[in-house]
Structures are given as structure tokens and as C-alpha cells.
Structure 1
């Protein structure tokens, strides 16, 4: 199916590009705005079908924007070095350093042990551990790292019960699904936890000059992630795949302790990484709470890169020239996501500079007066089901400028539609192709597509309700904003 999409997408992208270019400019729609829409159609098609690698498609504006007189090359390349890209890069460096010294594995094991070792508690422990790690480490790395632990526990359970048909074992199914879903949900907690969050913060800064700090986002993201982790756990272990009694026969604690014993005592390197991470996280939070002179002009990105540089500087073994982080490890960060950020930010600039945002907003004035809560619910539903079949980063990159235009057209605060769309991009629970964690656990053989689709559909429905309520009620309260009013900073410049 994917190969077919690529074959179709490769010629379809240029065809749509040429078709949109033929639209005649008219009142409110300049020739450059038409060209910008054409470039968007090309990029969207190639992103969705993955006709060429997503990061390669993300560099299209660098070539086409100057040739089409949308913006000069010097300006088209600037978004690829946006300061928020360095925030994400710094976070990635810290994450791969944790992985190098196996610190993330130790954190996971201790978390599971603390939560409990009965079957339902083990599922909860896995979710808490995966959710917390995913706030700082990529959701794919989190899932790949924790899946062998989960499979070892499932195998022990199968040996005890004599039932090795994993797909009909409710404990096995709930544990594997819980791992995938928690890795996706946990990333919502921080700006660097999942690419859509960073894309959103960067585009809001680019489009409107408004800054969402690390702490600002955590005020919304952490309650959102925590409540949905609990909802997911209850749905899996109490409703869809309940486990009766202790099928592990009290051996859960023994299994976890055996994994911890393999790790041995905490190494010097792990302690140093914890110290660096603690300093970085503290500064991220402090800068949102206090306005000390030393923080003037310092952004979350500066702190992230400072933490990464410390990891390059602090030695593990000075005599052997070994440091906590080396470049061989550092190059493993997802550079493709960084290029995607740049492409999305450049596209957002094109929307603004050509007046395309203002034109789209003008088409949506008829929506003014419609109940805001229903608009948010519709936006959430659209993006949730769209991200089931398309890269969540690509969906976020494409939809955020459009959501901003919708807000202007309706004369409401852009934060409502934009944040709703961004969060929804992480709620991909139905299909193995929807997000890498789903694909990883599906590959374990413990879950069928039907089981994942049924569970995911329930979570999508519950997610639509939860995101709508959080964006409509919690976000305005913690950020002190009014979603029903279009602020001055969001009004398009004439």
C-alpha cells in the first residue's frame, strides 16, 4: 500500500502544483499567494504519500520560493536555523546521551517497581515509565527500549499459565498497547516531548511573535498527559482487556528485580547525566517563574544547548579521552525532524508574506458566531483521524498556519484552534502505520490490527472529548487568555 502511495504521489505532487499555479490572481489573492498555495500542495502531497523522504520534501521552499519571487534565498533559509530548532536539538542530545549510558532503562525499571507488580499495576508502571521518558526521549526510542522488558514479563506469564497464544492473552495485549500509547501520550508533557509540540511553539513565535515557554506548556501538557494516561490504563485493564487474579502468581516483583540486578549499581556516568539533566530542567522551569536579570535574553534553546555542551565537556574517563557524549553518539539524533521543522516554518513565512493567511481568513468569515467549543471539537476530530494515516509532524506543519487563518476569520484567539490541532496530532492510536510506537508493538506479535483499531477508536473518541475540554477550559485559565477574542497581535498586517 505504501509503495502504491509513493508511486501515485510522485507525479501527483507536481500535477497539483501546476494546477494550483493556473488559478488566476484576483481581489485579495496575489500571484505570489497562488504560488505559495501551489508549493504547499506539492509539499503536502509528497509529505502525505512520502513519495520522496519527508526531510527532502521539507527543503522545497529553499528552491521554489526564490524562483517564484515569494521570498529571496537568504530569507527562505533562515527558518531552518530558528532558535526553537536548537531547543529540540539540545533535548535530542541529552536524550541520546541517556540512551548511551542506559540511564533511561534504569529509570524505567525503578518506576515500574515503585508503582507495583500485580498485572494491572505492571501495566500502569510501564505506562508511567514510558510516559515520563517520552517527555524527554523520543517515543520510538522509549518503546524500543521497553518492549523487550514487556515481552520478558509476558513470556514469564505465559510459562506460568501455559498459554502461549499472546494475541488472546489479555495481559499481553494490554501491556503491549499500553506501552505504545503511553509513549505517544507522554510526549505531550513538554515542548520537546514530541515534534508537533515544537512545531507549534515555533510557528506561533514565527507567525505572531508570541512565546510559549517550557513552563507555560507544562501547565497544559502535564495535566493533559497524566489524565489521559489514567484514562487509557482504565480502558485497557478494566474495560477491554481485564485480567482476573494475579496470573503472575506473585512473581512480578521477582522479574523486575532480576532486570535491576543486571544493571548493577548506578554508574558515575549516569549520576553525572542526572545532574546535568536536573540543572537543565530546573532552569527551564525557573525561567518561567522568575524574572532575574541573568535570564534576560536567555531562551529555553540556550539552556538546552548549554546542557548538551556540558555533556560533551564532562569526561567519563579523561585518560582514555572518553566523555559523556561524543559526536558518534550525537549524530544519531533525528536530523530529518529538524529539516521538517525548518520547512514548516518557511512555509508559515510564505503564508504571511504573500497574504495567503489573510485570504484564507477572509473565506472563513461566515464561521463567525459558531460555538467555539464545537469548532475546537471538529478541529480535534479532523486532526486525530488525519494523523492515523499521515505523519503527525507533517500534519502539524501543514495545519497550524491554516488553524491560525481559521481563528482570524472567526475573530477568535489563534491559540484555541492551533493548540487543539497540535495536541490532536499525537493521538494516533488505531493503526500500526499511524506512529512508530504502534508499529513497534504490532511487530511483537502480541497484538492484532483489529485489537489495536478497536482500542484506538475508543481512545480517539475519548481523546476528542478530553482535548476539547482541556483547550476550552484549562488552557485559558492557566495561561490567562480569552479564546473568544482576537488579540491585536493576531490581526493580519495590512
Structure 2
């Protein structure tokens, strides 16, 4: 019944904007149609009244029917389906190849073992070490996989230490810090989260600004590491953490030490990845080495006989088709919002006078709006579909560079710790070691720090990178 109600509400919202809502001066009815489709899809995504993929199919149906975009066109950006709309989803197949290959090896457990050695018997160092280790792993594999690995290892320490659900401060601190670090680490590299490459593509498409692979890494890896450390330190202090018994650490450390020397498949994976990563960085200076083509080529190479980094079954298991389809749908929605002029109208109406604001204030507003949107829309791609077109429109009057917009979209469109309803937060929260009330009181801090630091840091750092 709840799903049916959500579908009816979504339909009424769409019909209101399609037929009833007054059209502001300077806009056409198609602009209202675009808003109606966006809001209806957000309702369906958030409530999961329809499968995510079916909602995306609805986008492809409604955009041509309402006249926002033609079904097909030879011009880039001029239709629902065009060649550029497939680049990001195909690139994602490389991202999931990396994630699947890494997760099929002992590499994540070796990283966890290094974090335990760093921590010793210090609870503060343990939480910070796990935060940084989760963050680093999340830069190269899916955020969900990184959080699942490290929360599992972390809670095994708590259980070996005799921790009690609802009372163990160590468990609470690890639950929040690992979840936050998994999301934050994903912003570090373009392959850390599919939203990153989506935002880079949107900015290049609509602003003509190419954010290179190296530039993204140079800007966002330091930010991710710093915020992960701050987040871990915060969690180690706001929760009342019990001491860790040496034997509890010994039990877990012994399990992690069982993997021995690096295997042949691990060595092949590292060589494969270093070459691919190196070529993507080289694309900064040699445009002929297109990072997309590198991703496509190395996806194929991963399955060449003799290399075989992962099996077909492992690969298929690691492809979240819902996310890939949502990204395709989001690109179509963004095209509609920008093309109909509704994003520019909203900015010029609601944020009138922004052109006179200091740059720092403009960027802070962009960060704040994206953060609030992600709290309200706990799914990354829909958040980006709203935030990035608005920021692009705001940039047209304020002069904010495209690299800042791409980074804000990837960072705050991909990270929110306010509520444990984002899938990354949920995978840790649902273990049952922390209450909703305590999460609400203490888990907000990493996102706020990320928001403020992004506003202060991104304009300066992207400026140094030449944007």
C-alpha cells in the first residue's frame, strides 16, 4: 500500500507541473515538465516504490513525450539518447572491474593488518588507523565493499573484547568512523565513486571545462585523507571507549596474518592497475591518451587468458546495474534541466544578487545546498541531478570555475553522514551497535567538516591546478 501511495503522489506531482503549475516568465512549459519529472523520480527513488531501473526507464519515456528532448538526434546534448550519455556508464564497468578484482584478493585484509600494526594498543590510533585504511581502500574499490570489509574486521575486535551491543563505545566509534571514511575515501580518485566521473562529465559537457584525472586526484586525495583523520579523531573522543584487551587484538591479528606472501594474482593485479592508473594520469599531458579509452582497454585486458584478474561470476556480482542505469537517467535529467533554462531561472530568482557575493560565500552556498539536498535525497545520482545543474547556472553569473563544481558534486553529492539511510551508512548502522538517537547526535560532524573545508580549500587548490 505504501508503494502504491508513493506512485500516486509521484504521478500527481508530475501532472501538476505538466498541466497546472503556472509557467514563469521567460520559460516554456517544457521547463515545468522537467521539474515535474525530476521530483516524481526523486519520490520514486527515495521510497523505492518502483525498482530504480524502472524509474530510469520512466525518465526515457517521459522526456521525449513531454517535448523536453527528442528521442534521438545527431547533435550531442540534444536528445535523450546520444553517444556521450554512454561514456560514463561504460567507464563504470572499469571501476567495478577494479573493485571486483581487489575484493577477490587478500589485499583489503593486508591493509587492515597494517592498520592494526599501526594502532598497537591505542584505541585512538585504532579508530584513526581504520578510518584512514578504509578511506584509502575506498579510493580504488566501491565504498560499500570498503565499509563492509572494515566494519566486519572492526566489530570482530569488539566481540573478541567482550563488547556489548548498545553499550560498547568502541563499536559505536568504529561504526560511525568506518562508514564516514568509506564515503569520504570515495571522493579521492575518479574511480573511487561513479559520481565523480559523472560530475566531471557534466561539467565538461555544459561548461567546456575538462577536469583531468590527475587534477581530480591532486585536489581530492589530500582532502579525503585529512577529513578521514579528523573524522576518526572525532569519533575516538565523542564516544566513551573501553580499553582493548591485548588478547582481543591478538586473535584478530592472527587471522589477518594467515594470508602469507603476496600471491601471483595480487602481483598481476597491482601491475595491471599501476599501468592503467599511470596512463590515466599521463592523459593530463597527452590528450591522445584518453582516460576513457584506457578504462575500456584495461577492462578487456583484465579478462585476457593468462591475466584473468577475476572470473565472469565475480565480475557480474560486482556490477550494480541500478547505479549504472541511474547515471544514464541522471544525465538525461540534467540535460533537461539545463536545456530548458529552469536551472538558470531558479538561480537568478532565488539567488538574485549572487554575482556580487564574495567567491568564498558563493562556494560555501554551493556546498551547503548540495549537502542539504543529499540529506533530503539519500541517493547520490539524484542529488547530483539537482545540484550540478544549479551550480552550473550559478557559475554563469559568479565565475566559479568548473573544477570546483565537479568536485562539490562528487564530494557532497557522494557523502552524507547525517542519517544512516544512505546505503554506505546503512551497511554499518544495521549491525546494531549504535542507536539512531546517538547516531543523530554525533555522526553529523564529518559531513559538516567536509562541507566547510571544501568551501575553503577547493577554490584555492583548483586555482593552483590552473582552473
User: Equivalences for 1:23-38 in 2 at 5 Å?
Assistant: 23=21, 25=23, 27-38=25-36
Q: What's 1:161 paired with? A: none
Superposition CA RMSD, Å: 2.6
CA distance in structure 1 between the aligned counterparts of 2:51 and 2:108, rounded to whole angstroms: 30
Q: Deviations over 1:196-253 (max 9, x none)?
A: 322211211221232212111111111110110111122112x312547xx3344466
Q: CA deviation at 1:270?
A: 1.7
Compare 329-338 and 38-47 and name the one that shifted more.
38-47
Report the secondary structure of 1:11's partner residue.
helix
| Residue 342, structure 1, aligned to residue 328, structure 2 | yes
Normalised to the residue count of structure 1, the TM-score between the two structures is 0.84
Change (3 A) 1:131 1:474: same
Q: Deviations over 1:286-325 (max 9, x none)?
A: 322x33xxx51x3222222222212101436xxxxxx332
Q: CA deviation at 1:416?
A: 4.1
| Residue 272, structure 1, aligned to residue 272, structure 2 | no
Q: CA deviation at 1:77?
A: 1.9
Q: What's 2:426 paired with? A: 439
Change (3 A) 1:349 1:460: closer
Q: 1:151 aligns with which of 155, 159, 165?
A: 155
Change (3 A) 1:165 1:250: closer
- Listed as ranges, the gaps of 5+ residues in structure 1 are 159-163, 317-322, 482-494
- Listed as ranges, the gaps of 5+ residues in structure 2 are 73-78
Q: What's 2:451 paired with? A: 464
Q: 2:143 aligns with which of 119, 139, 142?
A: 139
CA distance in structure 1 between the aligned counterparts of 2:310 and 2:58, rounded to whole angstroms: 33
Aligned residues: 457
Change (3 A) 1:335 1:117: farther
Q: What's 1:169 paired with? A: 168
CA distance in structure 2 between the aligned counterparts of 1:30 and 1:395, rounded to whole angstroms: 24
Q: What's 1:46 paired with? A: 44
Q: What's 1:224 paired with? A: 223
Q: CA deviation at 1:62?
A: 1.9
Asked if the contact 2:189–2:220 (Cα under 8 Å) also holds between the matched residues in 1, the reply is yes
Q: What's 2:76 paired with? A: none
Report the secondary structure of 1:167's partner residue.
coil
Q: CA deviation at 1:264?
A: 3.5
Change (3 A) 1:463 1:98: closer
Q: What's 2:10 paired with? A: 13
Change (3 A) 1:81 1:392: closer
Change (3 A) 1:55 1:351: same
Q: What's 2:180 paired with? A: 181
Normalised to the residue count of structure 2, the TM-score between the two structures is 0.89
Q: CA deviation at 1:135?
A: 0.6
Q: What's 2:292 paired with? A: 301
Compare 227-236 and 6-15 and name the one that shifted more.
6-15
Q: 2:258 aligns with which of 256, 262, 270?
A: 262
Compare 181-190 and 276-285 and name the one that shifted more.
276-285
CA distance in structure 1 between the aligned counterparts of 2:214 and 2:118, rounded to whole angstroms: 27
Change (3 A) 1:301 1:418: closer
Q: 2:80 aligns with which of 76, 79, 82?
A: 76
Report the secondary structure of 1:387's partner residue.
helix
Change (3 A) 1:475 1:348: same
